[in-house]
Every structure is written in C-alpha cells, then in structure tokens.
Amino acid sequence: MQSSVGFLAELVRETVAGVQRGLIDAVPKLVMALVFLTVAYVGIKLALSVVHGTLDAIYPEEQDLIVALATTIVGVFLWFAAALTLLNILGMGDIAASLGTAAGFIALGISYALSSMIADTVAGVYLLRDPDFNPGDRVTADGTTGEVRDIGLRKSRFEMDDGDTVVVANSAVEKKWTLEDTTPESTPS
C-alpha cells in the first residue's frame, strides 16, 4: 500500500507535468494570437484611415459628423470581427460563435429600441446631403416656418420670426418640408 506522502508526491508531480504540457501546447497559440493582434491593429488602423480619408474627400467640411459616424461604425465592426477571430485562434471557437449570435440579438434589440433615433439620424444624413435644404434657407417643416440655423444628425434648428429657436427631429422634417420663396415680389409699375 502506497503511503499518503508518496501519493501526494505523485499527485504534485502529475499536476506539474500537466501544467507544463498545457503551457507548451499554448505557446504556439499565444504567439499566433500576438501576431494576429499586431497585424489586425495595423490593418484596422489603415482601413479606418482609408475610410476616413475617402469619406472626408466626398463630404464637405460641414458634414464631418457623417464622416465620424461612418468611420466609428466601420471601426466597431472591424474590431468585433478581430475579437471573434482572436477567440477562434485561441481555441475558443464555440465562445466566438456564441458571442457572434448574442451580438446579433443584442443589435436587433438595440436597433428596435433606438428606431426613432436611427430614423432621425438617417433623415439627418439625407438633409445634410440635400442641396435644397441649407442653413439660411426659409422653410416650413412639421408646422414650423423659420430660417434653418443648424442641421445636425438628429435634429434641425429653426429660428422663428420672433427670434425663438425651434428644434425639430430630422425624421419629421424629412417627411415633408417646403422651401419658402425668399425672392422679393416684383410690383407692377
């Protein structure tokens, strides 16, 4: 019969040997993960730089909000994909698949919860791109007539004739707005 000291010594020896084997097996995965992270970091930074530069060339300076929003969205998707790939490299493919699925459901819930804000943002992009809707124009939108002072991604601001400022959601403005005629009427002589 084996003594308890001998049993304990054998248990420690087996445990240390198992940890060593695990570390030796993990080193290639860790090295590959570090290489992947380095390449992903450089690649994502380069991709975001290209996206930002391209959008910056397309949109005028007063529409920098669109450039920043699009660049941020692309960055979030790229980093999320890199994180899932990293988990897969480290041998956690099931966790990566679960996270991908969970992120899809979370995104669906968030998009439903923020649907009005998303509608305002999309309408804001359209209004910023519309050549007929500019700051300084006199328009009627959502029952409000005034001069357009500011067009943001979610809201537009109108200055009324009495000097008050009215803020209207872009989705309400985009639905129906009318450019008021600002040319002075000619009087017959």
Asked if 147 and 138 count as a contact pair (C-beta separation under 8 A), the reply is yes
Q: 170 with 79, same domain?
A: no
The range of the structural domain enclosing residue 161 comes to 135-179
How is residue 11 written in tokens?
A: 């248990």
Q: 85 with 165, same domain?
A: no
Find the largest Cα–Cα distance for the chain.
126
- The reply to whether the predicted model has a pTM over 0.75 is no
Domain annotation covers residue 121: no
Q: 13 with 62, same domain?
A: yes
Number of compact structural domains in the chain: 2
Q: What is the pLDDT of residue 123?
A: 92
Report the residue count for the chain.
189
d(CA 151, CA 62): 10
Q: What is the pLDDT of residue 187?
A: 47
Output the tens digit of pLDDT for each of the chain's 189 residues: 467 878 888 888 888 888 888 878 878 888 999 999 999 999 999 999 999 999 999 888 877 888 998 999 999 999 999 999 999 998 888 999 999 999 999 989 988 888 899 899 899 989 988 888 989 999 998 888 999 999 988 999 999 989 999 999 999 998 889 888 766 554 454
Asked if 176 and 169 count as a contact pair (C-beta separation under 8 A), the reply is no
Q: What is the pLDDT of residue 189?
A: 46
Q: 149 with 68, same domain?
A: no
Q: 9 with 57, same domain?
A: yes
Asked if 157 and 166 count as a contact pair (C-beta separation under 8 A), the reply is yes
Domain at 173, CATH number? 2.30.30.60
Domain annotation covers residue 120: no
- For every residue of 139-177, DSSP letters joined together read EEETTEEEEEEEE-SSEEEEE-TTS-EEEEEHHHHHHSE
Q: What is the pLDDT of residue 37?
A: 95
Asked if 155 and 118 count as a contact pair (C-beta separation under 8 A), the reply is no
Domain annotation covers residue 169: yes
Q: What is the pLDDT of residue 88?
A: 92
Domain annotation covers residue 29: yes
d(CA 146, CA 158): 5
Domain annotation covers residue 127: no
